Structure 1
Amino acid sequence: MIIAISVILLMALLFVGMPIAVAMGLTGMALLYHMVGDGALLVAAKVMFDTLNDTILLAIPLFILMGAIMMKGGVGERLFELFDAFLGHVPGGVGIATVLTCAVLAAMCGSSVGIAAAVGGVAINNLAKRGYSLELSLGLPSSAGGLGILMPASVGMILYSSITDTSVAKLLMAGLIPAIIIVVLFSVYTVWAFSRSENRPLVPKKTWVERWQAFKVAIWALTIPIFLLAGIYTGIATVTEIAGVACLWSVIVCVFIYHSITWKDILPILRYGLSTATMVMFLVATAMFLGNALTQMGIPDLVKDFFVGQDIPVWAFLGITMLFLIILGTALEGASMLLMTMPVLTPILHAYNYDLIAYAVLFCINVELSLLSPPVGLTVQTVEGIAKHHGLPVTSATAWRGCLPFFFLYLAVMVLVAVFPSLALWIPSQMR
């Protein structure tokens, strides 16, 4: 009975517009008060302190700050110009350049919405002018921006590590091969979709001098994801230490090399990074607080006993949870979805002896699907707003239609990883 009341309370608070962190905190407090009475506040304070007193979580504000510096410093524009210089004359090349720019930015910025905004701002007009349909022009940055949750610097993977007590370095590297597959599929589809367009203006080929100029400018930005990937893979330092050094290097690149950020910009960037990180940390604290209350009530064990006791095979469990997460993603953003469900799902995964790293990749692809799912669809709404700002005649229907093919491509990769988990596990297995 108390479980049903808790679910109703949480849903009611969300329905009336309560911030999800506050809703989870109040629900958790109600559960704890039911169990321990007046000691609920003391238990809540201890759980929240122990949750945030974790060096792994320190990487989150550092990655958020680094992403803010990259976005403000115009790194997305420089990367796009580099890929466009080499691919712009190829049929579908500008679309491929958009996908590659999103992929490289994803390796240094854990915010999918930030990536979609940065790349959408520079790519949408170029795509529209070069014969791409409005649907494809909106769908590409909206969908490829979702790679931010799958690549290193992923805030989602760090949260997953904190909840499941899994190696954060291996989690950050696990999404690399699936991300490459997604980039290839997106690029192939882009070329095919562009080939069906009637308006395909010829784009002059850039000279090698122009390409060299673009490369000289972009190489400094490319050093950041290379350093991150190499540092995490080799294990020369902890992820938090690598995030700190990468954050400092991003300041050096944008302030002293590109001169795209002045010292006056640093304080607003720090304010943005601090406010965003504070919101994420508050969400983490209240979610773990609620998860602790559910665990004390034995909810995860009840769910685990149901699945295992009914002899439900692991493939059916994966299918049920993936479908549930897709539906949940239409109402919640990724971090909330992860923090609400993984405390319950983790014991079940242990019971099935299913690899937590492989499941992390499946979960993150589900989050990418949620970014393209109405009515929330954060990356879609972001890119649609940018397109309207540029004066393009777009509607919400146009934006959603443009993302639909990429939604199914994400879905195909999710099935592929579920069938062949070694796609997610091979790189982590090679790490120390």
Structure 2
Amino acid sequence: MTSLVLFGSLALFLLMSVPIGIAIGLATLFTILYSGIIPLDFLVQGLVTSVDSFPLMAVPFFILAGEIMGKGGISDRLFRVANSIVGNVTGGFAIATIITCMFFAAISGSGPATVAAVGGIMIPAMVRQGYDIKFSTAVVASAGSIGVIIPPSIPMVIYGVTGSVSIGSMFIAGILPGILVGLVLIIYAYYYSKKKGYKGTGTKISLSNIAKEVWEAKWALLIPVIILGGIYGGVFTPTEAAVIAVVYGVIAGIFIYRELKITEMPKVLADASLTTATVLIIVGSATGFGRILNLEQIPARIADGLLALSENQIIIILLIMLLLLIVGCFMETIAAIIILTPILLPIGVNLGYDPIHFGMFMIVGLAIGFITPPLGVNLFVASGISGVSIESLSRAIIPFFLVMVLALLIIVFVPQLSLFLIN
């Protein structure tokens, strides 16, 4: 009955459109009052102690770094590099947009931040080039999901903290799956562009032009090299890397590219603070929620129930994948990771999955939720930029959703894609 109160009240609050962090906290509060399973003050303590974590400090700094770099002229320079390489091929602008999102993903760690930074430049540019506005918006919304797959990634930090898994190893594991997702999106964009007759820019690919654009974007291109190289080289931790990303972003945006004004910094800090507060409220509220889950042995019972459905490992893993895709439609990614990791990770380990590979499976599965209504955060951000209605965009995004599910299946059943670089 306790688990029914917990999940039932959470579902009720979500249906009432209560913000996810508040909904988790209220569901936990109601369950504590009903069952008395833990002291009431544990909920308050959890809000403080759960965010008192050095690895978790990476989250606010990566959020701030993404805000700074999105407004500092970095995304425009990344696009110019990508466009100099592929702009002349069929669907070149769409392909360059996806590549730019992949570059920016290696900086921001956030899906919506990637959509906002790249979409503001690329959606109008693609429309001017003759692309359909719905297709243009769908390209940016779907490619923005790569923001949480290619490292650094805020959901990877959350998964590492929740599942006691190395964050550095998760970052390494995300490189090849992120590239795979980008490639399947590029293949579909090329196919669609060829069918619709979307030509390239007409400018011949020139090594001298590529070299010129790379040189002008060198400070932007150095950011992922410094962040990821420093982490993998053991020079600094992911948390320290996030701080370095903020400092570098300020220097590049204000003093090198001079597109970020000092007078804009208060707004940048305010926007980053709002996002950070939302994330940390979710983390804090989920601590009490997770404690009740464990005391009621809900993860173990769900695991036993799934394993009882079938002895076939493939069927069980496909059921988990379906669960992730459904949850992604209704729950914010970070909240889903905090709630589902204690439930699903033991099942994955029982099935023989490496915790890092399973983490990539979870993150990519939930990242697809960025483009699936009704929650689909990337849809709302992209819709706000282009003016395309959510209903129209939801229809245009279906082919991108299908190719991303195909990429997810490859990631699930080819573990070396996640583990090769680590090994």
Distance in 2 of aligned mates of 1:215 and 1:203? 20
Distance in 2 of aligned mates of 1:373 and 1:31? 30
**TM-aligned CA distance change 1:401 to 1:35, over 3 Å:** closer
| 2:70 matched residue in structure 1 | 71
Q: How big is each residue's C-alpha offset from its partner over 1:314-345, in whole Å with a ceiling of 9 and x where there is no partner?
A: 32221111111211222222112222222222
Q: Tell me how far 1:294 sits from its aligned partner.
A: 1.4
| 1:407 matched residue in structure 2 | 401
Q: Tell me how far 1:307 sits from its aligned partner.
A: 3.3
Q: Does 1:428 align with 2:419?
A: no
Contact 1:308 1:351 in 2 (8 A): no
Distance in 2 of aligned mates of 1:238 and 1:220? 22
| 2:163 matched residue in structure 1 | 164
273-282 vs 305-314, greater mean Cα deviation:
305-314
406-415 vs 295-304, greater mean Cα deviation:
295-304
Distance in 1 of aligned mates of 2:173 and 2:291? 28
168-177 vs 294-303, greater mean Cα deviation:
294-303
Distance in 2 of aligned mates of 1:161 and 1:396? 33
Q: Tell me how far 1:201 sits from its aligned partner.
A: 7.1
**TM-aligned CA distance change 1:138 to 1:336, over 3 Å:** same
Distance in 2 of aligned mates of 1:317 and 1:49? 37
Q: Tell me how far 1:370 sits from its aligned partner.
A: 0.9
Distance in 2 of aligned mates of 1:2 and 1:97? 51
Q: Does 1:236 align with 2:230?
A: no
Q: Tell me how far 1:271 sits from its aligned partner.
A: 2.0
Question: Counterparts in 2 of 1:86-125, with a 5 A limit?
Answer: 86-125=85-124
Q: Tell me how far 1:310 sits from its aligned partner.
A: 5.5
- Structure 2 alignment gaps of length 5 or more: none
416-425 vs 395-404, greater mean Cα deviation:
395-404
| 2:2 matched residue in structure 1 | 2
Question: Counterparts in 2 of 1:244-255, with a 5 A limit?
Answer: 244-255=243-254
Q: Tell me how far 1:425 sits from its aligned partner.
A: 1.1
Distance in 1 of aligned mates of 2:35 and 2:198? 67
Q: How big is each residue's C-alpha offset from its partner over 1:263-300, in whole Å with a ceiling of 9 and x where there is no partner?
A: 22222222222221122111101012201111112211
Q: Does 1:135 align with 2:139?
A: no
Letter in 2 for 1:427: L
Distance in 1 of aligned mates of 2:249 and 2:175? 22
Q: How big is each residue's C-alpha offset from its partner over 1:119-152, in whole Å with a ceiling of 9 and x where there is no partner?
A: 1111112222323333321221111110011011
Letter in 2 for 1:400: S
Contact 2:55 2:238 in 1 (8 A): yes
Q: Say which SS state the counterpart of residue 427 (structure 1) adopts.
A: coil
Distance in 2 of aligned mates of 1:193 and 1:33? 55
- Structure 1 alignment gaps of length 5 or more: 389-393
Letter in 2 for 1:361: M
Question: Counterparts in 2 of 1:272-311, with a 5 A limit?
Answer: 272-308=271-307
111-120 vs 127-136, greater mean Cα deviation:
127-136
Distance in 2 of aligned mates of 1:372 and 1:277? 22
- TM-score, structure 1 as length reference: 0.92
**TM-aligned CA distance change 1:29 to 1:376, over 3 Å:** closer
Q: Tell me how far 1:213 sits from its aligned partner.
A: 4.2
| 1:333 matched residue in structure 2 | 332
| 2:145 matched residue in structure 1 | 146
| 1:391 matched residue in structure 2 | none
**TM-aligned CA distance change 1:201 to 1:321, over 3 Å:** closer
* RMSD across aligned positions (CA): 2.1
Distance in 1 of aligned mates of 2:46 and 2:350? 25
- TM-score, structure 2 as length reference: 0.94
Q: Tell me how far 1:34 sits from its aligned partner.
A: 4.3
Q: How big is each residue's C-alpha offset from its partner over 1:197-241, in whole Å with a ceiling of 9 and x where there is no partner?
A: 246475334766654443232110111011122122222221111
**TM-aligned CA distance change 1:337 to 1:4, over 3 Å:** same
| 1:416 matched residue in structure 2 | 410
Q: Does 1:23 align with 2:23?
A: yes
Contact 1:134 1:398 in 2 (8 A): no
Distance in 1 of aligned mates of 2:200 and 2:105? 30
**TM-aligned CA distance change 1:209 to 1:423, over 3 Å:** closer
| 2:217 matched residue in structure 1 | 218
Q: Tell me how far 1:53 sits from its aligned partner.
A: 1.8
Letter in 2 for 1:159: I
Letter in 2 for 1:24: I
Contact 2:89 2:200 in 1 (8 A): no
Contact 2:310 2:316 in 1 (8 A): no
How many residues are treated as equivalent by the alignment? 423
